[in-house]
Copies of this chain bind each other. A is one copy, B any other.
Amino acid sequence: MTRAPTTKRYHHGELRSALIAAALVMLERDGPAAITLRGLARVLGVSPMAPYHHFDDRAALLAAVAAAGFDRLTQRKIESQAQESDAPKSSLIAGTASYVAFVIENPNLFRLMLSNEFADQHRYPDLRRAAAAPAGLLISRIGDLLAGTGQTALSPRDCAQMLWGFAHGIGTLALDGQIAPADADRIARAGARSIIEGWL
């Protein structure tokens, strides 16, 4: 059941990152409720109270895990944008589908990311920053697309929220089994196309 305690020692903040890494594994395997400060300490072979030297409380650890999830998403978006030199429109459609795929591949992580009862504005600035990064990439991409068109009713930011929100929702419905995973990609692309064409 519980893994044999490691004999490894942790120094200089290594324990902090080890806690986050172990929590990510636990999260995807057993759900958010399985993330436990004592349980993590057990798995890593340190005393039950050791995690408290790196996180104020359980909520702070969860916030860090969620931030790691947003970082992962940002990384993925950066990579895919680099290798695409498509037209902006089809690039945005592909990005929507890619976001939905991320959600389906990381269900529990995604749920933690968006269940941020933890991110109550003031308390976790790192999480806020990490969560805003993907939106920033999207906004600049959309700015490119809209530059040159006469569009003024909607700002790039409005458009980004519209498209991001759509991807968010399709992913969530797919997680809940309301949309079959096989249909999610098709619906995501068709919807993204309609939304984008509505801007122009």
19 CB < 8 A contacts A-B: A31-B117, A32-B117, A33-B117, A108-B117, A111-B117, A119-B177, A121-B177, A158-B183, A162-B190, A162-B191, A164-B173, A164-B178, A166-B166, A166-B195, A168-B172, A168-B173, A172-B172, A191-B195, A194-B198
Contact of A169 among B153, B165, B178 (CB under 8 A): B165
Interface size class of A (residues with CB under 8 A): 35 or more
In the complex, chain B residues whose CB is within 8 Å of the CB of A117: 31-33, 108, 111
Report which residue of A131, A153, A166 has the largest number of chain B beta carbons within 10 angstroms of its beta carbon.
A166
List the number of copies, as a whole number: 2
- A194 contacts which chain B residues (CB < 8 A)? 194-195, 197-199
Q: Which residues of B contact A177 (CB under 8 A)?
A: 119, 121
Contacts of A33 in B (CB 8 A): 117
The answer on a CB contact under 8 Å between A111 and B121 is: no
